[in-house]
């Protein structure tokens, strides 16, 4: 099927989705000078001529997702000077010419999710000076060349999740001074150079979960002064050492679920003065020692569930003057002293779960004090 020739010239939105169009010849939309939105979703497009979009001088949104496009060649988007959103996700794109997007000076969102790209070449996104969101998840990216993202001065969100990246190095992110969110989860990352994130001074959210990270070098995050959320779950980090989180003075959320952590240095979290949520669920901690939570005066939520905890030292929680919720479900505890919680004036919820699924082997005679707390609604 071909693009209909009788589309009204004054049309502002044209939707040609799901209609069997296989190719877009040069000049096919040349009369649609007022069109702002063009949707070619879920067609069978595999061929697009270089000048297919000539004439669409007012176009702001171009939807080309769920087609069979295999390559993006240089000059493909000539003339689309007002385009702000370009959707190319769910195609078969394996190659993108260098500077293929040059000329899209107003583009703010570029989606290339669910394609087959394996290499991000240097200068690949050159010319996209106003881009704020770049979506590259669910590809087959193994390699990111130095300066692949050069020129993306206003980029705020970079999604590289669900790829095959194994190493992250400083030359990947030069010039991304305005980046606020970086998603690197579900890759194969085992190595992160110590200066990788140094230039990402505006970063607020970093997701590194579901990788193969076994260790974090002290100072890795030292340049991330504005980071608010750090996600490191589902890695193989066995120990948390002092200095790992140096520089993260504004971090409010740290998630370390299911890593196999069995050891945490006494002052490992002491520099996280703004932390509000700490999740250590699903690790191998056995003893929670005094001083472990030193410096966490702003912490509101602490999860220690699904560990191997059999003992909590007296005074361990005393530093948590703002704590509202502590989760100790599914451990190996037999008793809890009321003194552990005596100096926690804002504690609202203590999650212990006395149900059949709880692995804590409680000595009920030593927990009489909990009955009073349960009546108050502070124990669940």
Say if residues 37 and 61 touch (Cβ distance below 8 Å): yes
Question: How many Å apart are CA 105 and CA 125, to the nearest integer?
Answer: 11
Instruction: Report yes or no on whether pTM surpasses 0.85.
Output: yes
State percent of the chain over pLDDT 90.
Answer: 84
Cα angle value 203/192/244 (rounded, 5°): 70
Residue 68 has pLDDT above 90, yes or no: yes
Q: What are phi and psi of 206, to 5 degrees?
A: -130, 120
Mean pLDDT of 85-108: 96
27 is a domain residue: no
7 is a domain residue: no
pLDDT of residue 361: 66
Question: How many Å apart are CA 206 and CA 275, to the nearest integer?
Answer: 15
pLDDT of residue 210: 98
- Alpha carbons within 13 angstroms on the beta-carbon side of residue 191 total 5
Cα angle value 204/160/225 (rounded, 5°): 20
Say if residues 136 and 112 touch (Cβ distance below 8 Å): yes
What 3-state DSSP class applies to 167? strand
Residue 337 has pLDDT above 70, yes or no: yes
**Residue 287 parent element (H or E):** strand 287-288
5 is a domain residue: no
Q: Concatenated DSSP letters for 197-210?
A: TTT-TT--EEE--S
Residue 364 has pLDDT above 70, yes or no: no
333 is a domain residue: yes
Mean pLDDT for all residues in the chain: 93
Cα angle value 143/148/153 (rounded, 5°): 145
pLDDT of residue 363: 64
**Residue 344 parent element (H or E):** none
Q: Minimal CA–CA distance to 221: which of 168, 267, 293?
A: 168
Question: How many Å apart are CA 272 and CA 251, to the nearest integer?
Answer: 6
59 is a domain residue: no
Question: How many Å apart are CA 85 and CA 250, to the nearest integer?
Answer: 33
Band (pLDDT 50/70/90 cuts) for residue 1 is confident
Domain CATH code at residue 340? 3.80.10.10
Mean pLDDT of 222-237: 97
Say if residues 310 and 287 touch (Cβ distance below 8 Å): yes
**pLDDT tens-digit readout, 6-28:** 999 999 999 999 999 999 999 99
Q: Minimal CA–CA distance to 322: which of 297, 339, 340?
A: 297
pLDDT of residue 235: 98
At a CB cut-off of 8 Å and minimum separation 6, what does 293 contact? 269, 299, 302, 316, 317, 319, 320
Say if residues 86 and 108 touch (Cβ distance below 8 Å): no
Band (pLDDT 50/70/90 cuts) for residue 366 is low
270 is a domain residue: yes
pLDDT of residue 365: 60
Residue 352 has pLDDT above 90, yes or no: no
Q: What are phi and psi of 366, to 5 degrees?
A: -90, 5
**Residue 236 parent element (H or E):** none
**Residue 345 sits in which domain range?**
213-380
Mean pLDDT of 248-260: 98
Q: Minimal CA–CA distance to 285: which of 258, 324, 323?
A: 258
Q: Minimal CA–CA distance to 277: which of 259, 303, 258?
A: 303
What 3-state DSSP class applies to 170? helix
At a CB cut-off of 8 Å and minimum separation 6, what does 356 contact? none
pLDDT of residue 260: 97
Band (pLDDT 50/70/90 cuts) for residue 358 is low
62 is a domain residue: no
**pLDDT tens-digit readout, 145-196:** 998 999 999 999 999 999 999 999 888 998 899 999 999 999 999 999 998 9
Mean pLDDT of 328-339: 91
pLDDT of residue 118: 98
Residue 298 has pLDDT above 90, yes or no: yes
Which of 29-38, 201-210, 338-347 is predicted with the least confidence, judged by mean pLDDT?
A: 338-347
Band (pLDDT 50/70/90 cuts) for residue 380 is low
Mean pLDDT of 42-67: 96
pLDDT of residue 379: 57
378 is a domain residue: yes
Q: Concatenated DSSP letters for 152-210?
A: -TT--EEE--SS---EE-GGGSTT-TT--EEE--SS---EE-TTTTTT-TT--EEE--S
* Structural domain total, the chain: 1
At a CB cut-off of 8 Å and minimum separation 6, what does 285 contact? 261, 262, 264, 304, 307, 308, 309
């Amino acid at each position: 099927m071909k693009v209909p020739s009788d589309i009204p010239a004054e049309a502002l939105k044209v939707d040609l989705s799901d209609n069997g169009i296989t190719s877009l010849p040069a000049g096919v939309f040349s009369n649609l000078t007022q069109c702002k939105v063009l949707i070619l979703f879920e067609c069978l497009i595999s061929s697009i001529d270089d000048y297919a979009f000539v004439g669409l001088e007012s176009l702001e949104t171009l939807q080309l997702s769920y087609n069979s496009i295999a390559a993006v060649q240089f000059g493909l988007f000539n003339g689309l000077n007002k385009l702000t959103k370009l959707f190319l996700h769910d195609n078969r794109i394996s190659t993108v010419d260098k500077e293929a997007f040059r000329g899209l000076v107003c583009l703010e969102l570029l989606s290339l999710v669910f394609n087959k790209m394996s290499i991000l070449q240097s200068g690949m996104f050159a010319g996209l000076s106003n881009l704020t969101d770049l979506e590259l998840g669910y590809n087959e990216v193994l390699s990111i060349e130095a300066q692949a993202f050069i020129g993306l001065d206003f980029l705020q969100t970079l999604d590289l999740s669900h790829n095959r990246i194994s190493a992250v190095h400083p030359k990947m992110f030069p010039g991304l001074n305005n980046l606020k969110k970086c998603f690197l989860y579900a890759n194969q990352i085992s190595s992160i150079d110590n200066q990788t994130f140094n230039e990402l001074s505006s970063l607020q959210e970093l997701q590194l979960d579901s990788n193969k990270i076994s260790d974090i070098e002290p100072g890795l995050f030292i340049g991330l002064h504005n980071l608010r959320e750090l996600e490191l779950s589902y890695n193989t980090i066995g120990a948390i050492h002092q200095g790992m989180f140096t520089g993260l003075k504004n971090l409010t959320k740290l998630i370390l679920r299911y890593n196999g952590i069995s050891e945490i240095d006494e002052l490992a979290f002491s520099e996280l003065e703004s932390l509000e949520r700490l999740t250590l669920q699903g690790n191998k901690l056995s003893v929670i020692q005094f001083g472990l939570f030193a410096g966490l005066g702003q912490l509101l939520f602490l999860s220690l569930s699904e560990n191997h905890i059999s003992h909590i030292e007296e005074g361990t929680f005393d530093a948590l003057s703002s704590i509202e919720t502590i989760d100790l479900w599914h451990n190996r505890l037999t008793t809890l002293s009321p003194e552990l919680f005596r100096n926690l004036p804002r504690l609202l919820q203590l999650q212990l779960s006395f149900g059949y699924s709880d692995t804590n082997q409680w000595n009920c005679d030593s927990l009489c004090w909990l009955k009073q707390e349960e009546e108050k609604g502070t124990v669940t």
